[in-house]
Amino acid sequence: MSLFFFLGKSDPAYGFLCLAIGLGNYLFAWIHFKRKIRKSQSLFYNLLNLQVRD
């Protein structure tokens, strides 16, 4: 979408705005993904550390 505003409409303000929003969305998704991975990774490690005792 930012390419449309840069090249098609020749409006760099909207192009930069779309680019910034896209990068912000990517950053938010990456941080959320890493947080969820850490949480499930700790659960997985706890499951691996369980030992069967008689």
Domain count, the chain: 1
pLDDT tens for 4-47 read 766 677 777 888 888 899 899 999 999 999 988 988 888 888 88
- Residue 37 placed within a domain: yes
pTM equals 0.59
- Residue 54 placed within a domain: no
- Residue 31 placed within a domain: yes
- Residue 28 placed within a domain: yes
Residues 6+ apart with CB under 8 A from 15: 2, 3, 5, 6
Mind giving me the DSSP string for 7-43?
IIS--HHHHHHHHHHHHHHHHHHHHHHHHHHHHHHHH
DSSP state at residue 52: -
- Residue 8 placed within a domain: yes
Domain that holds residue 6: 2-49
